[in-house]
Amino acid sequence: MKKALLALFLVILVAVPFFLKPYGLYLISLWVVMTIAAIGLNLTLGYAGQISLAQGSFVGIGAYTAAILTTHGWPLWSAFLLAIAISLVIGWVLGYPALRVQHHYLAFVTLSFATLVYLVMRNEEWLTKGVYGISGIPRPELFGWSTRGAVEFYFFCLGVLALVSAATWWLVRSPWGRAFTALRENSIRANSLGVDTRRYTLMAFAIGSALGGISGVLYAPLLQFIEPNAFALGLSLSLLLMVMVGGSGYFMGPFLGAAVSVLLPEWTRFTGNLYLIYYALGVMALMAFCPTGLLGLGERVFKR
């Protein structure tokens, strides 16, 4: 049953771009890119239980790294390497407050960090061109295969998502995943059982942030134009929403959550001007009646 669903999902992912118009292609590519960032946040929040309101900032860091490097003639893979390195280090450092404070206190610490990153992107014009943003971001060419077309670039993003998913799947099923879960459920007990909670907390932040950075490196060439407002607090909040709506701590949660956040608003457009209100009401109802998200809801219904 699960395998059949997965196979169907993969077939749809491969087939769907051939049936879409440009805007649809843009949306589904954006879904792929946001899923990668949400997978990262799901690792930090869903598995290891550390809340972060700064995941959007790491998407921004990745996007600016890609935009600055590629508009200066560097290849995109160099942006991947640099963005991963920067996000790992900054994510690790951002994890330190989590060793002292938890829950909403931690949320506020990460919120301040998000504001700081936004200010840097907006004000450091020598680096980021400030509010004018960076335009003309090229799409990469891989071994002679140009991804300039929308369909090609979608498949490029999908390939990265596949790699990220496989790596994350390995990670959450390794002893690390078990230690992350233990950290989330009871860090004091975990520590007494030899789990170095300090190091695992920092790792959860670093790895989750690095996936945010990877997502950003794809975001820049997808839109080919970036400006600071795209990575303001709103993006962090919507990534948080994706993780919660999909099902925090479920492997497939971010895939579903990102779909709800990126695609569903478009599908409710038939309701006219009120579509965002209907969408918001739906999300509120879901969070009130099923805080474990759509996958948690599915599990409850399925088990009955």
Partner 1 sequence: MNSVLQVRDVAKSFGGIHAVNGVSFDVREGEILGLIGPNGSGKSTLFNCILGQLTPTAGEVRIDGKPITGKRPCELNRLGVGRTFQLLQVFPQLTVRENLVLAGQEHQGSMWSRLIGRRDAGQGAAADRMIEFFRLSKLAEEKAGALSYGQQKLLDVAMAFMAGPRLVLLDEPAGGVNPTMLSGLRERLREINAKDHATFVVIEHNMEFVMSLCTRILVLAEGRIIAEGTPEQVRGNPAVIEAYLGG
Supply the minimum distance, in Å, between the C-beta of residue 6 and partner 1: 20
Q: Establish if 181 lies at the interface with partner 1 (CB under 8 A).
A: yes
Distance between CA 249 and CA 45 in Å, rounded? 8
Q: Do residues 193 and 68 touch, judged by C-beta distance below 8 A?
A: no
DSSP 138: P
Q: Establish if 27 lies at the interface with partner 1 (CB under 8 A).
A: no
Q: Would you say how long the chain is, in residues?
A: 304
Q: Establish if 166 lies at the interface with partner 1 (CB under 8 A).
A: no
Q: Do residues 283 and 241 touch, judged by C-beta distance below 8 A?
A: yes
CA of residue 80 relative to chain centroid, distance: 15
Per-position x/- string for 202-231, each x denoting binding to partner 1 as judged by CB under 8 A, each - no binding? -x----------------------------
Determine which helix (DSSP H) or strand (DSSP E) holds 102, and give its type and residue range: none
Distance between CA 149 and CA 152 in Å, rounded? 5
| Piece of 7-15, 28-36, 124-132, 168-176 that binds partner 1 (CB under 8 A) | 168-176
| The one among 103, 104, 173, 269 contacting partner 1 by CB under 8 A | 173
| The one among 195, 226, 258, 286 contacting partner 1 by CB under 8 A | 195
Supply the minimum distance, in Å, between the C-beta of residue 31 and partner 1: 28
Nearer to partner 1, 47 or 80 (CB): 47
Supply the minimum distance, in Å, between the C-beta of residue 212 and partner 1: 20
| Piece of 67-75, 92-100, 170-178, 269-277 that binds partner 1 (CB under 8 A) | 170-178
List binders of partner 1 among 241-300 (CB under 8 A). 249
Nearer to partner 1, 68 or 207 (CB): 207
Q: Establish if 193 lies at the interface with partner 1 (CB under 8 A).
A: yes
Q: Establish if 178 lies at the interface with partner 1 (CB under 8 A).
A: yes
| The one among 37, 179, 245, 294 contacting partner 1 by CB under 8 A | 179
Q: Establish if 102 lies at the interface with partner 1 (CB under 8 A).
A: no
What is the SS3 assignment for 194?
Answer: coil
Distance between CA 35 and CA 29 in Å, rounded? 10
Distance between CA 234 and CA 238 in Å, rounded? 6
Distance between CA 223 and CA 215 in Å, rounded? 13
Q: Establish if 146 lies at the interface with partner 1 (CB under 8 A).
A: no
Supply the minimum distance, in Å, between the C-beta of residue 191 and partner 1: 4
Distance between CA 21 and CA 200 in Å, rounded? 44
Residue 224 contacts by C-beta under 8 Å, 6 or more apart in sequence? Answer: 135, 136, 137, 138, 139
Q: Establish if 194 lies at the interface with partner 1 (CB under 8 A).
A: yes
Q: Establish if 192 lies at the interface with partner 1 (CB under 8 A).
A: yes
Angle at CA of residue 48, ends 46 and 52, nearest 5°: 70
| Residue closest to 55 by CA, chosen among 135, 143, 117 | 117
Q: Applying CB under 8 A, which residues contact partner 1?
A: 171, 173-176, 178-179, 181-182, 185-186, 188-199, 203, 249
